[in-house]
A = this chain, B = another copy of it.
Amino acid sequence: MRNICMIVSYDGSAYNGFQSQPNSNTIQDKIEEALCTLTGETIKITASGRTDAGVHARGQVINFHTESRIPIDRWCMALNSRLPDDIIVTDAREVSETFHARRSAIRKTYRYSIRCGRYKDVFRRHLEYHHYGSLDVEAMRLALSYLVGEHDFTSFCSVHTTAKTNVRTIYNASISTNEQYIGNMKSTQLFIDITGNGFLYNMVRIIVGTLIEVGEGKRVPDDMRRILESRDRTQAGPTAMAHGLMLWEVLYEE
């Protein structure tokens, strides 16, 4: 059996998330259908993690086992011609038998994109959360800094979690900005990048929902530390909308 690993990029707008569900339209279903058409096998893929409905991925990683003898450099093109145009495989390689897209991952980066300004960008409306007013980016940066390190992230986890432990390590959390004009009104894009060894259910979206309240001045940066320590989901802000979120990159031990 060959074990094949792929990098997949998708626009999640049209899907009910990554993971297969009965009678549902998911990214996993589309990839497995394309693999079945290509190889004639019934293949079950494993991803680095699920993404929710509406969430995108620049570099989702999957792996699967196959008896197919298709040369490794043919897989991307062969699959892309069988996939809908909002899902694309950008890399395929053969990996050792023990490689597992979820269990072997050592760190993951998510990006959440916000556009602050009077007008949304119609061409990126499916990729950015539009916030009408400005946000205090320095306050948000300070708030975000309290999350770096190993912590119990219960406050930033959906109550519907099935995780055994809520302890995770955040290696890096930063916000970069970019100014643009839409019409003659200035707007500011915020890119919130968070890298960790793993993420709980809705974790990035709840962190961002809380950060937005800090940016709006409804909370002070130090609240982030207090919320983290409380280990209580009700202390944090709302879950930010799915469409601003993108699974950016997944790293593995070489």
Contact = CB atoms under 8 A, between A and B. Distances in A.
A87 interface: yes
B87 A122 contact: yes
A125 interface: yes
A76 to B, nearest CB: 8
A9 B185 CA distance: 13
A233 B86 CA distance: 35
- Looking at A122, A123, A185, the one whose CB has the most chain B CB atoms below 10 A away is A122
Contacts of A122: 9-11, 85-88
A109 to B, nearest CB: 15
A125 B56 CA distance: 14
Contact of A90 (B7, B10, B184): B184
A14 B122 CA distance: 12
A80 interface: yes
A88 B120 contact: yes
Number of copies: 2
A72 interface: no
Contacts of A127: 123
Contact of A184 (B11, B80, B86, B91): B91
Interface residues of A, number: 25
A248 interface: no
Prevailing SS type, chain A contact patch = mixed
A87 B125 CA distance: 11
Interface in A157-182: 182
Interface string A210-221: 000000000000
A22 interface: no
A40 interface: no
A99 interface: no
Nearest to A87: B122
A71 interface: no
A119 interface: yes
A119 B185 contact: no
Nearest 5 CB-CB pairings of A with B: A90-B183, A91-B183, A11-B122, A88-B122, A9-B122
11 contacts: A76-B119, A80-B119, A85-B120, A85-B122, A85-B125, A86-B125, A88-B119, A88-B122, A90-B185, A91-B183, A123-B127
